[in-house]
Each structure stands twice: as C-alpha cells, then as structure tokens.
Amino acid sequence: MQISNVEDTIFPSNKSIVAGDKFIDLSTPIVMGIVNVTPDSFYRGSRATSINIILERVKNMLMEGATILDIGGYSSRPGATDISIQEETDRVEPVIRAIIREFPDATVSIDTFRSHVAKVAIENGATIINDISGFSIDSQICDVAAHYKTPYILMHMIGTPQNMQKNVQYKNLYMDMCKYFSKKINILESKGIHDIIIDPGFGFSKTIDQNYELLDFLDRFHFLDRPILAGLSRKSMIYKKLGILPEQALEGTIEVNKVALKKGAQILRVHDVKEAVELI
C-alpha cells in the first residue's frame, strides 16, 4: 500500500484553510478587516495613505479580533479610476512590509486582481490572495497562487470595476453563478490550488435587488464545499436602500451580516471589526 506524505495529501474542506504557516479554523466564523490603502474608496472612514495611521488601524483591528487583514491599493467601487500596476504596487508594498514588521503574527490578504501586485505582496509577507475578478482580468494570478501555495478567494464579477454595473443581465442569477464558480474551481484545482474561498461578490455586477436575492440563496452555495466569504460592509445595497450615507450604514451592515451568518457564511469582510466579532 502506498502512503502519501501529509504535504501531498489533499483534504478538501470548508472548515479550514492554511495560510503560510497558519492553520485557520473556520468551524466558527471569522472576521477579515478591510484596510484600504487608497484615497478614493467609497467609504471615507476606510481611506488611509499614511503608514502610521494604517498601523494604528491594524493594531485596533487585531485587538478587536480580526483574524485576517485584507490590504487593498485599488479602489473597486463602481466607476472607480483605473490606476497603473506600479501605482498599486507602490501603495501596498510598504504597508504590508510595515504590518508584518510590527505585527509578525498577523495574517495578511492582498486584495488585487493583478499577478504582479500579488507576487510582490506575498514576497513581503501576505499569505492569501483576494481576487475580485476571478482571474478574468489577469489569469497569471492563478500561477502566483499555485507557486506560493496561497489560499485564493474567488469572487464573482463580470467585467471590470469600471463597467461591471453594466453587466447585470442573467438568465438565472443563481444558476449562472453556480456555473461560474464550478468552472473556475475546476481550473484552480487543475493548477494545484485547493484552498479556495467563495465570495459571491455583493455589489459587483448586480443590482440592489439582485444583491438581496443573492443574500437569500447564499446558503445554496454550500454544495461547492468551500468556505463562503460575505463582503457586505456598508455597501450601496444597504445605504441606498435606506437613503443614507455609507458612514451611517453600520446598523444596516450588522443586520445583513446577521443574515449571512445564518446562511452559513464563514468569513465576514468588514470595516468595523469589533461589531462583527460581537455579532458572531
């Protein structure tokens, strides 16, 4: 009988992931704190460009119970300005380096759809790739994830941040998303990537009503046997529905996150870590 080394054995599961040298247990939901290194994110409270301010924010998030820090240097709000690969790299590289220096035990995710940015981030200490494009914009990001053996967050979006809200026509939203995820999971697995997290992409290529339809059937994605990430924090489906600003959408965020947890979401991606941890 042939016995494989444990390193070569694959245990597909939606209960855990391995990021770098850390085993992350998902049997109880966890919180991913959003750290935007951008001047133009939709929520003003999350914008930061000073490393000292970012480190203070990170310190608070870790103290409040964030398991993962998601660092992003490219604003993906609808209609956001496109920036160069170099500018995005210049935004995130020193920040990730500073976070790892100050908080060496922190688990850092890089929020990018560009393979170069992902590679630089990982070489500076990031251990998870969070790709809003599902490798549709830069397919080489899969090769980066495979080479460095990082978990990969696979989000549903059609098009780019600049035109995604023009791509909201579906024959059947749930079935179309199932086909999208199934096809892309097969591609990722063929490249040796097995720690795959599903992000249905609230606010991306979806109308407000479609976002609530998606929230209603979120639990039906468990057939994929992958952890589900819910990124609902202060989004337009909340504040536009209530006729308020993103800065006023904390209570609404808590309510939709409550539904997401009841539907089985295992990672909440949020601006407000303390409230999400208390909710869990």
pLDDT attached to residue 8: 43
pLDDT attached to residue 13: 52
Q: For 18-279, give the CATH class.
A: alpha beta
Task: Decide if 141 contacts 115 (C-beta within 8 A).
Answer: yes
Q: How far is CA 276 from CA 18, 29, 231, 257, 263, in A?
A: 22, 10, 12, 8, 15
Residues 6+ apart with CB under 8 A from 75: 36, 38, 40, 41, 42, 81, 161
Catalytic, out of 101, 220, 235, 258 = 235
Catalytic, out of 91, 119, 226, 269 = 269
Residues 6+ apart with CB under 8 A from 158: 164, 167, 205
pLDDT attached to residue 118: 98
Q: What is the pTM of this model?
A: 0.91
Q: Is 269 a catalytic residue?
A: yes
For 117-165, the pLDDT digits (tens) are 999 999 999 999 999 999 999 999 999 999 999 999 999 999 777 777 7
Q: Poorest-confidence range of 8-22, 23-37, 53-67, 238-252? A: 8-22
Please report which confidence band the pLDDT of residue 11 belongs to, taking 50, 70 and 90 as the band edges.
Answer: very low
Q: Is 258 a catalytic residue?
A: no
For 91-103, the pLDDT digits (tens) are 999 999 999 999 9
Span 184-204, mean pLDDT?
Answer: 96
Among 34, 77, 68, 74, which residue's Cα sits nearest to residue 54? 34
What letter does residue 226 receive in the DSSP assignment? S
pLDDT attached to residue 12: 41
**What's the CA gap between 144 and 155, in Å, rounded?**
17
The residues spanned by each domain of the chain are 18-279
